[in-house]
């Protein structure tokens, strides 16, 4: 007896393959992207708190090489979109409690994406939220940007990892490449 819940629509062959035959590899690739992003934010925090760099100079590893890139809202928005797409595309391979944890991370990322969309729109239009002097997210009205993004990354990452661990322990189908043989 299978515990796989069929969606009300048929998945396209590439999406189905990413959630069955290539699920383990796709999750690993997604995790590498997420950990790379984490490394950037942690490096930035070290630059600020351990090395006592001024915030504008603390841009992580990428900021040392491409300072103009890390100040671009396009970079941050692009990453938010990649995260959102990854959550949506790879969620079909999860079931049960793993799916609930994955969906929790997904919905937090939906909000995070909205915040980055708001920042991008402000950067493009020059009309800043509540008269701020630079693009400002809603949560940034209360929390500084560096700390806020460490927080956002943590609250998205934690349920994502729980989902992956639960999925690996009790995968939804023997067809999934995450299945232990």
Q: What is the pLDDT of residue 71?
A: 85
Q: What is the pLDDT of residue 177?
A: 78
Q: Does residue 79 fall inside a structural domain?
A: yes
**pTM for this entry:** 0.87
Q: What is the pLDDT of residue 68?
A: 87
Residues 6+ apart with CB under 8 A from 40: 60, 61, 62
Q: Does residue 25 fall inside a structural domain?
A: yes
Radius of gyration of the chain, Cα coordinates, nearest whole angstrom: 19
Q: Cβ(6)–Cβ(163) under 8 Å?
A: no
- Per-residue confidence in pLDDT tens, the chain, 181 aa: 444 545 545 778 888 888 888 999 999 999 999 999 999 999 999 999 999 999 989 999 988 899 888 889 999 999 999 999 999 999 999 999 999 999 999 999 999 999 999 999 999 999 999 989 999 999 999 999 999 999 999 999 999 999 999 998 876 555 677 865 4
Q: Cβ(148)–Cβ(137) under 8 Å?
A: yes
Q: Provide the greatest CA pair distance for the chain.
A: 59
Q: What is the pLDDT of residue 8?
A: 47
Q: What is the pLDDT of residue 54?
A: 95
Q: Does residue 174 fall inside a structural domain?
A: no
Q: What residues make up the domain containing 80?
A: 13-169
Q: Does residue 104 fall inside a structural domain?
A: yes
- Say how many domains are in the chain: 1
Which of 24, 15, 34 lies closest to 172 in space, CA to CA?
24
Q: Does residue 175 fall inside a structural domain?
A: no
Q: Does residue 156 fall inside a structural domain?
A: yes
Q: Does residue 176 fall inside a structural domain?
A: no
Q: Does residue 179 fall inside a structural domain?
A: no
Q: Rounded to 5 degrees, what angle do the CA atoms 90, 92, 96 make?
A: 115
């Amino acid at each position: 007896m299978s515990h796989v819940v069929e969606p009300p629509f048929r998945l396209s062959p590439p999406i189905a393959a990413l959630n069955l035959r290539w699920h383990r590899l796709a999750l690993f690739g997604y995790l590498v992207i997420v950990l790379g992003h984490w490394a950037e934010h942690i490096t930035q925090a070290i630059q600020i708190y351990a090395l006592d760099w001024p915030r504008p100079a603390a841009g992580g590893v990428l900021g040392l090489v491409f300072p103009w890139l890390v100040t671009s809202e396009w970079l941050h928005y692009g990453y938010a979109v990649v995260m959102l797409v990854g959550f949506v595309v790879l969620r079909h391979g999860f079931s049960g409690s793993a799916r609930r944890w994955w969906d929790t991370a997904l919905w937090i990322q939906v909000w995070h994406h909205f915040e980055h969309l708001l920042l991008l729109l402000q950067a493009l239009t020059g009309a800043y939220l509540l008269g701020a002097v630079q693009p400002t997210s809603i949560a940034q009205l209360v929390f500084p940007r560096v700390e806020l993004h460490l927080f956002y990354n943590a609250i998205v990452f934690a349920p994502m990892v729980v989902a992956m661990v639960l999925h690996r322990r009790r995968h939804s189908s023997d067809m999934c490449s995450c299945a232990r043989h």
